[in-house]
Structure 1
Amino acid sequence: MSHRREASATPLFTPQGIGRAQRRALRKQTARAEARARAAAGPSSEQQPAEAVYPEAAYPPAGRPGPSSARGSRLKLPAHRMTTAVASAAYPFLAEGGLGADGIYIGKDLHAEGSFTFDPFELYGKVEGFTNPNVLLAGVIGQGKSALAKSLALRSVAFGYRVYVPCDPKGEWTAVAHALGGASIALGPGLPGRLNPLDAPPRPPSVPEAEWEGEVRKRRLLLLGSLARTVLGRDLLPMEHTVLDVALGTAVARAAASGRPPLLGDVAHALADGPGLDLAGGMLAGRLGDAARDLAHAMRRLVFGDLAGMFDAPSTTAFDPYRPMLSIDLSRLGGTDDAALVLAMTCASAWMEAALTDPYGGRRWVVYDEAWRLMRHPALLMRMQAQWKLSRGLGIANLMVIHRLSDLLTAGDAGSQSRALAEGLLADCSTRVIYRQETDQLAAAAGLLGLTNVESGALSHLTRGRGLWKVAGRSFVVQHQLHPAELQLFDTDARMH
């Protein structure tokens, strides 16, 4: 009987992370082990135990002959094909990577089972398709969209950002501003607060004085034109644009002679002074007075009508750029008609936006709460869109809060300028956060946002505090989480308990 023994060596597996040099060293080690085993195999090895003869057992790369010979790299498995639905369950540890860890904590990503953070300033320039820091937030009443807006503002202060709310129709931001060490300006009939929407913002050091005067004049004309079109309910005629220009110039000159900024009352007085307009109009003498008649009545409402005593005097509060938060409380106007509230929102926004033109003011949030009220007024939409175009260069992220996506469709008929302006605001938002929508609103939401069937179907089943986040084309379902102190501070349903 032959006692001949065979010696061989083979690698069974290669550990992950092994480099080329390490693999080469392992192959050499295998070859040396095989050589030692062959050298030790001789006539005298028949009487020695196998453990002594073969201290390092090894097999050739092809393995030992015969079935079940432990061939390391020759193992072949049959291919298996499956759908992505099955693969998601077969490989449960593959999940969405999220937007990264840098940013403000929002809550829990329900698909990835991890934390969800968001910061538009950090994402800008880092995520493909993220072209602006503006955010649209939509959701029906009672689903927590106000709590999300407030927590986003409150948590941003910890990152050194400042928050400004130019129009707070319900007065819900006052407590948040005071909790952060900020301030709130209350406007309304009988209140001492005054804001002058024609205040000139501070000139940036890099802008020449002559150029800045032209920019200030353009902003004032845009505001006056928006207010006039909103009150009149129509577009201005070419002659009326000229009248506004001449009246503003007259008001600025009179105010400068008195050593004070121009007021809306100065503009209203100039519009009512027909002979004065004709005299200032030069070659248009005798024609401007007639064209100013409707404009004079429109401006009079802001000075002597239901908004008297709020925007017709010098500002009683100086803008402090170092406060962490500032809001303008318009809740005292809740009993007025919608047009009056919209005009007040526009004047208050113009005053605050003018103060935010400093490009060195740091990163800032500007929250437009109840923005759906502006959608029915094309002139205000135009002014708002012009402001948004400038915000990116000023380090400002705008947050627009509405109830339904169909609010954007109320701006006008399809193909109209008003509808184009409203859809332009949506296009200027790289982030869209959608809370629960009613079933009759799903078609409008899907059409405006380009949602898939799965996404649009999920909108009607989202629970309180849970929203669909569309960030530069990527989708996340996030459960917003609040600290108990935040929950108490943000409780907008306190009167219902």
Structure 2
Amino acid sequence: MTGTDEGRLHTAVLVGPEGEHRRHRKARQKAATRIESTARDARKAQAKARRDAEQAERRNTTYLPSAGESGPAALRTPGRLRLPKHQDTSATLAGQYPFLAEGGLGSSGVFVGQDLYSGGSFVYDPWVLYQQGLITAPNVVLAGIVGSGKSSLAKSLYTRSLPFGRRVYVPGDPKGEHTAVAEAVGGKAIVLGHGLSNRLNPLDEGHRPSTVSDVEWAMQVASRRRDLIGALAETVLDRALSPLEHTAIDLALRDAVRSAEVPILPMVVDRILAPNPADDEDGRLAEDGRLVGHALRRLVAGDLQGLFDGPSTVRFDPSLPMVSLDLSRVAENSTLLSVLMTCSSAWMESALSDPNGGQRWVIYDEAWRLMAYPALLRRMDAQWRMSRHFGIANMLIFHKLSDLDNVGDQGSAMRALASSLLANAETRIVYRQEADQLGSTAAALGLTGTEQKLLPGLGTGQGLWRIKDRSFVVQHQLHPAELAAFDTTTRMTEIARKISDLDVPSGISNDQEES
């Protein structure tokens, strides 16, 4: 083959099928590019035409001037309305939004009265709110000056809860205000005092829960008796007991239980002052418990005798709708009052720990008197901490929240316990307060400035309800029958009525009558 033939062969290869495919692919790419470019130009032309049409339409449209038509067609006065600029806080300007009010707590529970902000009904029930997750602690703190209506509110809350299956325990009623209410609802009021036949044995076993075995019950009774005698001794001595004194009480109580199925306090006192020789190995037990023995002797043979020196003549019946311990006969003796409260608290503990006991209100009226005693304060704190476990709602009634500052010294354990009671109550109800109490009340509850200013102007039966982080101003409403049963001003009104009914003798001048 010659050189010329070889060149022709290579040229044929270059222009073969593979070269043709390459030329066709380039041609297709150029054609696609031309089509896309043509479509893009068409879209641009359409958009430009649309803009031109809109601009032409705007140019051909006649608008009114910004100030409106001129002349009589303006339908307005010649001068413009000019308002001065106003600056205010967001709390004040929030009132410019109409028809906004607190949604309330729902309709499930006990009717209390009227929400003064929304105008609707106000309903409250700590157990319902706990089930809904709105609160985590069912305890209530209620504060208000004399005559503000706080006692009526407390009685209304627990009596209206009775139809819902709740029960009410009042472990101490220093003024006897709850006695008539307990009798009216089919409950019982236990009246204790000098000269009465009622006696209270602090060492009674108390109510036994149905789910407790014999061994557990024996251990619970022994522990409760030890704690109770120790608390009584601390109350009378007004100090904490030493380890030696605790040992003297423990050995005397154990010896008394061996000699009687249900021991009474005189037995324990006798064994503390004269111990069993079998228990007194070193001969010093009588000396170790001498002060405790003489302190407890006041309850059985001293100035406090007559109430604890024999078997109980009354029984705490947890099945009743309401049980109240009326201490109005001993209210003048603070030591005796605290001793009775300690005993009644021990009575209730076994009933409160019963899992089948249901939901119960526990009312602590005149709490400022009860919290002055460490033993009582510790028992109250324990019950408040276990309220969810026991299914109870505690209510602490004060005149003013600054009463908590009078419990113990600043930084003391008692002050810390008193503060914990407030911390474990997510429902705080504040009725009218004096002007000098506003600062301490606002600090204790974390009130806003607006809420603080409301307190002095609240009327009778009106209260500021702080439920966790929500606030309500509520007017408590009473049925006429409730008003007659809950009235705490009977004595004052009766005296005033009798004075007004006295006939003024004739011949006395107006000046003499007024004097």
Q: What TM-score does the superposition give when structure 1 sets the normalisation length?
A: 0.78
Per the alignment, residue 474 of structure 1 pairs with: 470
Shift in Å at residue 362 of structure 1? 1.1
Question: For 1:404-439, what per-residue CA distance to the aligned partner results, in whole angstroms no more than 9, with x for missing partners?
Answer: 212111111221111011111111212111112222
User: Do residues 437 (structure 1) and 433 (structure 2) align?
Assistant: yes
The 1:446–1:141 alpha-carbon spacing in structure 2 relative to 1, beyond 3 Å, is same
Q: Would you say the 8 A contact 1:434–1:467 is kept in 2?
A: yes
Confirm or deny that 1:493 pairs with 2:489: yes
Partners of 2:158 and 2:131 lie apart in 1 by 22
Aligned-partner residue type, residue 269 of structure 1: D
**Paired residue secondary structure (2:378):** helix
1:262 correspondence with 2:263: yes
- Bigger shift: 403-412 or 451-460? 451-460
Match of 2:326 among 301, 326, 329: 329
Q: State, as a whole percentage, how many aligned pairs show the same letter.
A: 55
State the 1:136 CA deviation: 1.1
Q: Following the alignment from structure 1 to structure 2, what is the Cα–Cα distance between the partners of residues 243 and 127? A: 48
Taking structure 2 as the reference length, the TM-score comes to 0.76
Q: Deviations over 1:90-147 (max 9, x none)?
A: 332111011111110111111222111110111114234x222111111111111111
How far apart, CA to CA, are the structure 1 residues paired with 2:105 and 2:280? 58
**Paired letter, 2:294:** H
Task: Report Cα offsets for 1:179-217 as digits up to 9, x if no partner.
Answer: 111111111111111222222234334333323322222
CA distance in 2, matches of 1:231, 1:196: 17
Amino acid in structure 1 at the alignment position of 2:98: P
CA–CA distance in 1 between the matches of 2:287 and 2:163? 56
Q: Report which stretch shifted further, 116-125 or 242-251.
A: 242-251
Q: Which residue number in structure 1 is paired with residue 19 of structure 2?
A: none
Pairing partner for 1:237 from 230, 234, 242: 242
Offset at 1:67? 7.7
Partner of 1:107: 113
Structure with higher helix content: 2
Counterpart contact for 2:142–2:398, Cα < 8 Å: yes
Matches within 5 A, 1:27-426: 84-85=90-91, 88-128=94-134, 130-256=135-261, 261-274=262-275, 276=276, 279-280=278-279, 285-334=282-331, 336-426=332-422
Deviation of 1:83 (Å) = 6.1
Q: Cα gap change, 1:353/1:488 in structure 2, threshold over 3 Å: closer, same or farther? A: same
Tell me if structure 1 keeps the 8 A contact 2:341–2:376.
no
Once residues 417 and 278 of structure 2 are traced to their aligned partners in structure 1, the CA distance between those partners, rounded to angstroms, is 37
Q: Give every structure 1 segment of 4 or more consecutive aligned residues whose post-TM-superposition deviation is greater than 6 Å.
A: none
Q: CA deviation at 1:86?
A: 5.7
- Report the Cα distance in structure 1 between the residues aligned to 2:243 and 2:170, rounded to whole angstroms: 34
CA distance in 2, matches of 1:195, 1:153: 26
Q: How far 1:281 moved relative to its partner?
A: 5.1
Q: For residues 158-189 of structure 1, what are the alpha-carbon distances to aligned partners after superposition, in whole Å with 9 as ceiling and x for unaligned? A: 21111111211111111111111111111111
* C-alpha spacing 1:473/1:85, structure 2 compared with 1 (3 Å): closer
Q: Provide the aligned C-alpha RMSD in A.
A: 2.3
Aligned-partner Cα distance in 2 for 1:93–1:470 = 22
Question: Do the aligned partners of residues 92 and 233 (structure 1) sit closer, same or farther apart at CA in structure 2, a change above 3 Å counting?
Answer: same
* Aligned residue identity for 1:116: F
Return closer, same or farther for 1:495/1:290 CA change in 2, 3 Å cut-off. Answer: same
What is the distance in 2 between the residues matched to 1:245 and 1:440? 49
Q: Could you say if the C-alpha distance between residues 338 and 201 of structure 1 is closer, same or farther in structure 2, counting changes exceeding 3 Å?
A: closer
Maintained 8 Å contact 2:208/2:350: no
Instruction: Provide closer, same or farther for how the CA distance between residues 211 and 496 of structure 1 changes in structure 2, counting only shifts above 3 A.
Output: same
**Equivalent pair of 2:209/2:351 in contact (CA under 8 Å):** no
Q: What is the letter of the counterpart of residue 474 of structure 1?
A: R
Quote the Cα distance in structure 2 between the aligned partners of 1:328 and 1:288. Answer: 36
Residue type matched to 1:145 in 2? K
* Count of paired positions: 414
d(CA) in 2 for partners of 1:487, 1:202: 34
